[in-house]
Amino acid sequence: MPEAPEVQTVLSTLETQIGQARIVKAELFHDKLADNMDARQFEAALVNQRIERFFRLGKYLGFETQDYDWIVHLRMEGKFYLFDAYPNPKDKHIHAIFTLSDGRYLCYHDTRKFGRMYLYPKTGSIASLPCFARVGVDFQDATGRHLYEKTRGCRRDIKSVLLDQSVIAGIGNIYADEILFAARIDPRSVAGHLNEADCEAIVAQTKRILNGAIKAGGTTIRSYTSSLGVTGRFQLELKAHRREGEECSQCQDPIEKIKWKGRSTYFCPRCQVRK
What is the C-alpha to C-alpha distance for residues 177 and 174, in angstroms, rounded to an integer? 6
Is 2 an active-site residue? yes
Catalytic residue among 56, 59, 150, 159: 59
Is 3 an active-site residue? yes
With 0-12 / 13-18 / 19 or more C-beta atoms within 10 angstroms meaning exposed / middle / buried, residue 197 is exposed
Q: Which residues contact 2 (CB under 8 A, 6 or more apart)?
A: 10, 59, 74, 78, 172, 218, 224
Amino acid at 241: H
Strand ranges, E, within the chain: 23-28, 51-57, 60-65, 68-73, 79-83, 94-100, 105-109, 116-121, 137-138, 168-169, 256-260, 263-267
Is 25 an active-site residue? no
What is the C-alpha to C-alpha distance for residues 209 and 78, in angstroms, rounded to an integer? 23
What is the C-alpha to C-alpha distance for residues 115 and 234, in angstroms, rounded to an integer? 24
Catalytic residue among 104, 263, 270, 275: 263
- Cβ–Cβ under 8 Å, residues 78 and 110: yes
Catalytic residue among 3, 6, 64, 178: 3
DSSP symbol at 255 = P
Is 134 an active-site residue? no
CA dist 68 → 47, 48, 50, 247 (Å): 11, 12, 10, 50
Cis, peptide link before residue 89, omega less than 30° from 0: yes
Helix (H, G, I), strand (E, B) or coil at 90: coil
Write out the catalytic residue numbers: 2-3, 59, 263
